[in-house]
Structure 1
Amino acid sequence: MSKKTLLASLLSLISISAMAAQSTSWVYVSNADSGTLTRYQLHKGQQKLLPQGKVDGLPSAMSSVLSPDKQHLYLMLRSKPFRVATFKIASDGQLIKQSETPLADSMAYLSLDKQGHYLLGASYGGDLFSINHIAANGDVERAPVQVSHTGKRAHAIQTDPDNKYLYVSQLGSDQLLQYRFNPADGRAQPNSPAFVNVEKEAATGPRHFVFSPHASQNGKKYLYVLNEMSGTITTFVRRQDGTLIQSASTPSLDPAIARNMQRGEARPTVGELPPSARPRIWQADIHMTPDGRFLYASERTSSTLNVFAVSPQDGSLSFINSVKTETQPRGFAIDNSGKFLIASGEKSQQLSLYSIDKHSGKLSLLQQVPTDKGANWITLVE
């Protein structure tokens, strides 16, 4: 074989390997009722989810988050004693349990700062958030850097894309707390003002939120808050000092569905709400495609995914359509190419894999695969 032919063969193999790597992602699904993490390969070329096994012995497995270097997965176990489990991610996607660390309370939401040096948790039942340092080996350190008590029902916590500011949604007081974040020591100090009200009406229930990946043509950056009880998404402009100013409120349900529902109520930490005359609005999760063109939100009572176009001019939302999905969809995820969406349902024992139309944002069902009971959170490694 000539050197030229050998070189061509090597380049071909490298190209094939690179394409294979790009077409494969690992998918981890938290199943609270079964106490498991189910694992899948998302083969983008085949447009399929391929089951790869599971990890058992994880009671009330819920919120999870991936380290920026993609080496560790952190999983909240919302059974007493409340703790976070740290897993090392092997090259074949298998999870190797590394440690467990007690946290200040039961955390409804986990995230990491953008450097991956601190674990952030928001506690719905404890009305607080906590910040814990992550050691060099990936373990979460036991002594928290900070525990701050909030108003009622803290629900989600994230730093902004620049890692300078931190926000906490308060479902019970209809506010977003806003902080200055110091990535050097992991501490958060209240910004001025320390909070913003989400909407004029009471009992909106701000839950999860998402940042626009880049500025719109008007030069502004946005934060979108999904309101659990009101059936709306509130749009905020993010100013340079980290403070938020409300820009718009957009109905987030199909009108044909919304007209038969009533405003939701904050869920108790134990037990269920009493029966109601009409089904209650109960929104859950919100995500945006990486290019910022489309936004998706889930509603649990109607078991729907609601699709929106995001204006490149001013970040405003336009409703596209509503898609029936898995029963009680608490969590879903979008891959980093923006071509696939994976949805789970707390009352379903299967996942739905959708393709995302790059022009319209509409979802097309590709596949449904089994998972365990109480599926609620999805994390991708790509």
Structure 2
Amino acid sequence: MNALKRINSIDMQYINMNLSYIAVTKTANSGAQMSDKKQTLYVGCALSGELYTINLSVATGELGYCAHEQLPGLQKPGGAMPLTISRDRNTLYAVSRGEPFFIAAYNIGTQGRLQHIGNTPIETNLAYIQTSIDDSYLLSASFIDHHVSTYPVQEDHRISESAKHICDISNAHMLSMSPDSTTVLATGLGKDVIYQWQWLTSQANEKAPPPLQSINQLQLPEGTGPRHIAYHPVHPIAYIIGERNGTINAVRYNASGLTLVQTDYLPDQVDAFQAADIHITPDGRFLYASEKATSTLHLFKVRSDGIIRFEKLFSTENRPRGFAITPDGNYLVAAGQFSHHISSYRIDAETGYLQFISRLAVGQSPDWVEML
């Protein structure tokens, strides 16, 4: 009953915020031009097995519905729905963690419209996917099966069934390539370890599953629960969120290995931490982290040398497992697993503070937001 009251309270909060925002901005937006540019984003909704295409107004931050569809071939929804967009911005990949397991590939057409290319059946339950810098491989992590993998990308942009696994990574949550493509990091939530490999470019260009050459492992304190990673756009620093202890761990990476340079903390809370997602603005000035138990977004300011400092927290959708920042760094969109809505926020260019803009109903249990 208390949980139901909490959910209703949060929903009413956002209804009231939305009505207030509409009242304030109605006059200002009445003369908006029809040519207003749109930012396309995609939302994975796990419990309904749906993929939503949403438009965000670049001028106002308002969210608008474009289209939605269930993943083709999905028989029973389940788990989260990891998404990723190829580096050339032409292909979207979506993972089925229900029945059966597969990776769906879509061509991205004009105005972000999706055309299904095909599915690749897989034998594992994937918690995260990302393409390599040159789009030749799909990097993935399996939390349940305790491994990370690389899948070759075929010429038709579908994912090959041939994969190379690196096993014995307890509760692997993410496999991610650094912006300079020299380093690949993985989070092992089960044993609180960060794994580092060198990406062998010469091997990767041969269209064969490339060996990842092990460089280093970094042991974090017990109970950290390393989960998702955000890379600084300039410095060789990865920010890794600790799901279980509410930390942000700044890790410097290079060819010699990994060095923990800083640990900062989300504010203390009554509920046990369920820290989830982490993203940094394109200019590297503001870092945001989501916390599911308290339904909040946390702002950290980033110094010019990459050191972070907690600044402020903001209430958001109920259980924000996933969120994303627009490529221009002006807006943030968060998804609520329990509210079945997404919300957009304007990012203040000076302070990084979030101003609520718009709210939109989507499918059941939205947990992934991907920006085109």
TM-score range with shorter-chain normalisation? 0.7 to 0.9
Structure 1 unaligned spans of 5+? 1-18, 216-220, 261-278
Equivalent residue in structure 1 for 2:340, among 332, 336, 349: 349
Equivalent residue in structure 2 for 1:197, among 211, 219, 235: 219
Per the alignment, in what secondary structure is the counterpart of residue 111 of structure 2?
coil
1:38·1:371 contact (CA, 8 Å) conserved in 2?
yes
Task: Determine the C-alpha separation between the residues in 2 that align with 1:76 and 1:322.
Answer: 31
Equivalent residue in structure 2 for 1:155, among 153, 173, 182: 173
CA gap 1:184/1:101 in 2 versus in 1, 3 angstroms: farther
RMSD across aligned positions (CA): 1.6
Task: State the match for 1:295 in structure 2.
Answer: 287
Task: State the match for 1:105 in structure 2.
Answer: 124
2:153·2:159 contact (CA, 8 Å) conserved in 1?
yes
Equivalent residue in structure 2 for 1:118, among 137, 140, 164: 137
Measured after TM superposition, the shift of residue 361 of structure 1 is 0.4
Identity %: 29
Task: State the match for 2:261 in structure 1.
Answer: 247
Per the alignment, in what secondary structure is the counterpart of residue 46 of structure 1?
coil
Equivalent residue in structure 2 for 1:90, among 96, 101, 109: 109
Give the residue type in structure 1 aligned to 2:223: A
Per the alignment, in what secondary structure is the counterpart of residue 92 of structure 1?
helix
Measured after TM superposition, the shift of residue 49 of structure 1 is 1.1
Bigger shift: residues 80-89 or 116-125: 80-89
**CA distances 1:155-202 after superposition (whole Å, capped 9, x unpaired):** 001111111221110000100111111234342434333x1112xx31
Equivalent residues in 2 for 1:6-85, closer than 5 Å? 23-57=37-71, 58=74, 59-60=77-78, 62-85=81-104
Measured after TM superposition, the shift of residue 94 of structure 1 is 1.8
Task: Determine the C-alpha separation between the residues in 2 that align with 1:192 and 1:322.
Answer: 36
Structure 2 unaligned spans of 5+? 1-33, 205-209
What is the total number of aligned residue pairs between the two structures?
329
1:212 matched to 2:232: yes
Task: State the match for 1:286 in structure 2.
Answer: 278
2:130·2:138 contact (CA, 8 Å) conserved in 1?
yes
1:166·1:188 contact (CA, 8 Å) conserved in 2?
no
Task: Determine the C-alpha separation between the residues in 2 that align with 1:112 and 1:95.
Answer: 18
Give the residue type in structure 1 aligned to 2:294: S
Task: Determine the C-alpha separation between the residues in 2 that align with 1:40 and 1:293.
Answer: 26
Task: Determine the C-alpha separation between the residues in 2 that align with 1:30 and 1:259.
Answer: 29
Task: Determine the C-alpha separation between the residues in 1 that align with 2:241 and 2:252.
Answer: 15
CA gap 1:50/1:376 in 2 versus in 1, 3 angstroms: same
TM-score, structure 2 normalization = 0.85
Per the alignment, in what secondary structure is the counterpart of residue 344 of structure 1?
strand
Task: Determine the C-alpha separation between the residues in 1 that align with 2:106 and 2:212.
Answer: 30
Equivalent residue in structure 1 for 2:146, among 127, 134, 154: 127
Task: State the match for 1:136 in structure 2.
Answer: 155
Task: State the match for 1:374 in structure 2.
Answer: 365
1:185 matched to 2:203: yes
**CA distances 1:263-296 after superposition (whole Å, capped 9, x unpaired):** xxxxxxxxxxxxxxxx221000000000000000
Give the residue type in structure 2 aligned to 1:346: Q
